[in-house]
Structure 1
Amino acid sequence: MPDIVIAFFALGLLAGWVKSDLKVPQSIYETLSILLMLTLGVKGGMALHGHSASINLGALALIASLGVLTPLALYPLLTQVIKLKQADAISIAAHYGSVSAGTFAVVIAMADHLGWQLAPETTLYLVLLELPAIIIMLWLHRWLLARAANDRKQGDSKQYKDTAQISNGSIWHEALTSRGVVLLLGGVIIGWAYGPQGLADITPVLLGGFKTLLALFLLEMGLSTAKVCRPLPWQHWRLMLFAAIAPFVLSWLGIGVGLLLGLPAGSILVLATLSASGSYIAAPAAIKAAIPEANIGLAMLAALGITFPINVLIGLPLYHSWIQALIHG
């Protein structure tokens, strides 16, 4: 049987498809997401407590580079094969170069359930992979606008200047001060500084209730997924096909890097799953602010409507079996 939290996602998905009146109030969802991100950060920080000296900064830099290389590699595919407009191709590449915090929570729970070892710095993978893709693709958008304006030598230069101002003034701020990053990094720092003993008073409530928080969060994700996918826009069949296939290809980037770095099995599973995921929280907010002409609905359809359920329902068991076969033969 799959982990119990997956059943709650399936329940939400079913309820959404049959148009049930079941819904998670927005205020409850906001609270759940805050607690979930904070709990993940604290768990990661507690794992780092007393192990800071053993962190391999070179390995973390290589992992972070996936967030730069992945979207740059996807962009020409999205423009030439998937036939997306420039703004939408940049948007989708940024979403798939970035990662899913919800998927991260699920794979962490799965690794714990399997008893697979996690490196102390595993929580940092989420932060390292969430930001670079968004930033590099917004800068690519600026560069493409500048080149187009230079070629035409006319009014597009004003559009470029406006976009450049938005990018310079807000890209880094949006990326580094987003709720997820603040909660994750803050939780990591608190967990690292206080350790298990210092956090003993809140551990039973915050960490003991992790799976309950995740189950309720996934119930809402199931409802949201059904809403995004109803009805399916079949005119975008190329993008939907990409969203269905990409996780199984991108997961091998994480597996390859994990094996190259000699990471423990649990960390390889986390890295593979993150590589296979698409952002539906951080990236939409940043892209919508900086590239208003991009269709965020397409990104949500792909990342949340298709890739997220594929990863949760099919991908995770498959990545687990691949890694197990590679490590244990």
Structure 2
Amino acid sequence: MLSLAAQNLLSPAVAFFGLGVLASFARSDLSVPRSVAQLLALYLLMSIGYRGGAEVAHQGLKPELLAALAGGIILSFLIPFVAYALLRVISRLSRVDAASIAAHYGSISAVTLVAITSSLTQLGVGFDGYMVAVAAAMETPAIFSALLIARSGQARPSGGLLREIAFNGSIVVLLGSFVIGGITGERGLAMLKPFIMDSFAGLLCIFLLDMGLIAGRGLLQGWRLLSLPIIGFAALMPLIGAGLAAGMAIALGLSPGSAAVLMTLAASASYIAVPAAMRLALPEANAALSLTLSLGLTFPFNLTLGIPLYIAVASAIAS
């Protein structure tokens, strides 16, 4: 595990993330234009989705795919209840704030998905392409769990909110690319290889540089909102989520690589899809606190220490 952690910390992507954080702390004027950052995010999601679809086309639809989808959905729905209960015990957060944070931790971070798949590829550890579809399926159940917690039988989610969640941009591009990759298969992947695969690592570095800048600025602005128990939650909850996913991976009989992906997804925290949904569903929740925790604390934890740990554990437990 220490060897994996050292490899991850010394990888170019993590190093550029660290550069972004340090630049923010130094109050540098370094920045990545917003339009460029959005384009990079679109590219990364499209690349991951397309490769996953092409892999499924190569392997064929299997019962394992449906089982993994069901397992991911169950995890995403249940984890917010665990996160909410923990927050209510260790902090004085309101019901709405705790529910909003819990939604972030039940959903997934697409960028963390990119990081784990990139790490596994560098290590030569294979994983099932359908895990991309599992990631997309894990985006939304946590939002419904949080609404159940926060509203507890009051206002039901509106049709507008449901549509907003279902057609969130990250879900559309991830699932859409997955479907296109499945349709065009290996022939399409060969045609797009210079764009989809060869350029991936370099563009990921630029994107994570921007993520580092955002995370650093979030910490500078939001540190006053953090108490020691809440800071501890940002490191403990990923381990709890990964532990639950490890049990699910054993039950599903996932390979080490796929188990590592599932554990990382369950350990990650959303800072794109869920914040957008919470603005609509729970506008009274403190968005700054949720983002500081998910992006400023949990994302760096997973990127530097979490992913090597999840890979090591998955290698030990998976079939």
Q: Same fold (TM over 0.5)?
A: yes
Q: Aligned runs of 1:9-24 on 2, under 5 Å?
A: 9-24=17-32
Q: Of 25, 29, 33, which residue of structure 1 is paired with 2:37?
A: 29
1:79 maps onto 2:88 in alignment: yes
Deviations 1:109-166 (A, max 9, x none): 011111112123111121121110012222443335x2xxxxxxxxxxxxx5xxx4xx
Whichever residue aligns with residue 291 of structure 2, its letter is: M
- Amino acid in structure 2 at the alignment position of 1:170: G
Contact 2:257 2:315 in 1 (8 A): no
Normalising by structure 1, what TM-score? 0.89
Matches within 5 A, 1:210-229: 210-229=200-219
Matches within 5 A, 1:45-56: 45-56=53-64
The question of whether the paired residues in 2 share the 8 Å contact of 1:48 and 1:121 is answered with yes
Q: Number of matched residues? A: 309
Which of the numbers 168, 174, 181 marks the counterpart of 1:178?
168
**Whole-angstrom distance in 1 between the partners of 2:68 and 2:312:** 24
Deviation at 1:216, TM superposition (A): 1.1
- The reply on whether 1:65 has 2:80 as its aligned counterpart is no
% identical equivalent positions:
37
Where do 4+ consecutive residues of structure 1 move more than 4 Å? none
Q: Distance in 2 between matches of 1:234 and 1:30?
A: 28
Which residue in the other structure is 1:150 paired with?
none
- Residue 151 of structure 1 is matched in structure 2 by none
Distance of 1:244 and 1:59 partners within structure 2: 26
User: For 1:107-256, what aligned pairs fall within 5 Å after superposition?
Assistant: 107-144=116-153, 146=154, 160=155, 164=156, 167-231=157-221, 232-233=223-224, 236-256=227-247
Displacement of 1:54 in angstroms is: 1.7
CA change 1:60–1:293 in 2 (3 A) is: same
Aligned residue number for residue 153 of structure 1: none
Indicate conservation of the 8 Å contact 1:135/1:172, yes or no: no
Name the structure 2 match of 1:97.
Answer: 106
CA offsets per residue over residues 138-196 of structure 1, 9 Å max, x none? 2443335x2xxxxxxxxxxxxx5xxx4xx222232111101100000110010000012
For residues 80-128 of structure 1, what are the alpha-carbon distances to aligned partners after superposition, in whole Å with 9 as ceiling and x for unaligned?
Answer: 3322111101100100000111111000001111111212311112112
Contact 2:83 2:102 survives alignment (8 Å): yes
Task: Note the C-alpha offset of 1:234.
Answer: 5.7
SS, match of residue 13 in structure 2: helix
1:278 corresponding residue in structure 2: 269
How much has 1:327 moved relative to structure 2?
A: 5.0
Q: Structure 1 residue 215: deviation in Å?
A: 1.1
Question: Alignment RMSD, CA only?
Answer: 1.7
Residues 47 and 121 in structure 1, CA contact (< 8 A), matched pair in contact too: yes
Partners of 2:49 and 2:175 within 8 A in 1: yes
1:256 Cα deviation from its structure 2 partner: 1.6
Contact 1:10-1:219 within 8 A present in 2 as well: yes
* Aligned amino acid, residue 53 of structure 1: L
Aligned AA for 2:51? K
Question: Partners of 2:147 and 2:164 in 1: how far apart?
Answer: 12
After TM superposition, give the deviation of residue 273 of structure 1 in Å: 0.9
Query: 1:235 deviation in Å?
Result: 5.0
Mean Cα displacement is larger for which, 51-60 or 297-306?
Answer: 51-60
Inter-partner Cα distance in structure 2 for 1:284 and 1:234 = 17
The Cα of 1:79 is off from its aligned counterpart by 2.3
Alpha-carbon distance, 1:238 to partner: 2.2
Query: Residue 23 of structure 1 contacts residue 223 of structure 1 at CA under 8 Å; is this kept in 2?
Result: yes
8 Å CA contact retained: 2:250, 2:317: no
For residue 27 of structure 1, what is the amino acid of its counterpart?
S
SS in 2 for 1:53: coil
Give unpaired runs (5+ residues) of structure 1: 147-159
The partner residue of 2:311 within 303, 315, 320 is 320
Kept in 2, the 8 Å contact 1:135–1:175? The answer is no
Distance (whole Å) between structure 2 residues aligned to residue 206 and residue 324 of structure 1:
28
Q: Give 1:252 deviation, angstroms.
A: 1.1
Determine the structure 2 residue equivalent to 1:258.
Answer: 249
